[in-house]
Amino acid sequence: MTLHPEERLLALLRDTADPWEVAGRARVPFPVLVGMLRDLEERGLVRSRPGRLTLTPAGRKHAPRTVALDSRALAALKRRYLRLVAQRPDATDAYDQGHLTVDSLMGRLREMARFGDLVEGARFAIMGDDDLLSIALALTGVPAQIAVFEIDERLTAFIADLAERHSLPIEVHTHDLRKALPARHRGAYDVFVCDPSETRAGLRMFVGRGLSALAPGPGKVGYFGVTLVESDYEKWRELQAWLTAQPVVLSAVIPEQGFYDNWPTQLEEARAYGHPAFTRAARAPWYRSALWRLETLAGFEPRNPRPLPGDPIADEHYFAIASKERR
């Protein structure tokens, strides 16, 4: 499940009694918020007095439970995650892989929690999981279901083995995202997550498959990372235009949220450009992405996107440069 505005408001009141904090975090216009509070008070779910809002016992029964990931909770989650994934497969450029640093992965969970998307009973679909986000999500204890769609059989075997040994709510599907999702998975999830290949075809393929997994109607959510290393603002504009032609709103772009571990072929790829500055290996992670969050609106219906021509991974050079693309 994802939260509708009333549910989000009730969940917020589990976390704070400060009406101004509620007004800032409710993500509805102030007059709408006031109307919602009056309705909840009349139904006996919320009690108010000057400077304070609280849930009644009946309100607590109705309020969804979300996860609040403070620094202590994240540190504990990080330790458990690192123990489980210590023997993870190496990234391979065969599938354009490169995984987030563990701190960036924890930061991605923190952003999901901040937006109220880590809610009990939520169903997640992950389009490619070299980050092993499925494991970290499962360790929060929140999702009812996590479905991973991944082409790399090393990763599917690794994730499936961990899920079985640790009783994690993860189902793994070896799937090539150039093909549509199986019918039973279309329109079945509340949240999708992906780190798309950043060719124009790749962006639309990964994000489009994610959208096809979301249940109809408003309030479903997608998260994905997009860089300004392989993309530029023109490519961002094209992606935004394609998204907002549908009943979808781009609700947040969080710059430089994700940093990625340096990969073995990075220096070789950079040297191909022949610049003397890039002849020594990077000392720290430098490749970074913005985290985009979209939310569906009324009238949204999942559908399979029309693919753009070309190979979604190979048709543009790894370090895509806008001037080269426009030649």
Q: What are phi and psi of 290, to 5 degrees?
A: -85, 145
Choose one of 42, 62, 82: the last residue of a domain: 62
Model-level pTM? 0.91
Instruction: Print the SS3 string covering 299-322.
Output: CCCCCCCCCCCCCCCCCCCCCCCH
Q: Kindly state whether residues 33 and 171 are assigned to the same domain.
A: no
pLDDT at site 155: 96
Please tell me the total count of domains within the chain. Answer: 2
Alpha-carbon span 44 to 62, nearest angstrom = 11
pLDDT at site 316: 55
Q: Kindly state whether residues 92 and 217 are assigned to the same domain.
A: yes
Q: Kindly state whether residues 133 and 45 are assigned to the same domain.
A: no
Q: Kindly state whether residues 81 and 55 are assigned to the same domain.
A: no
- pLDDT tens digits, 172-229: 999 999 999 999 999 999 999 999 999 999 999 999 999 999 999 999 999 999 999 9
pLDDT < 50 stretches in the chain: 317-327
Contact status, residue 110 vs residue 136, Cβ threshold 8 Å: no
pLDDT at site 102: 97
Rg of the chain taking only CA atoms, in angstroms: 21
Alpha-carbon span 315 to 320, nearest angstrom = 10
10 Å CB burial of residue 147 (0-12, 13-18, 19+) is buried
Q: Kindly state whether residues 205 and 321 are assigned to the same domain.
A: yes
CATH code (residue 47):
1.10.10.10
Both tokens of 222, joined, read 């997608």
Contacts of residue 29, defined as CB under 8 A and 6 or more positions apart, other chains included, come to: none
Residue holding tokens 């070309």? 310
Beta-bridged to residue 292, according to DSSP, are: 224, 253
Q: Kindly state whether residues 31 and 92 are assigned to the same domain.
A: no
Q: Kindly state whether residues 89 and 237 are assigned to the same domain.
A: yes
pLDDT at site 245: 95
Q: Kindly state whether residues 33 and 86 are assigned to the same domain.
A: no
> Can you give the residue range of the structural domain that contains 23?
5-62
What's the mean per-residue pLDDT of the chain? 91
Give the residue among 192, 298, 289 at the shortest CA–CA distance from 236.
Answer: 289
pLDDT at site 321: 42
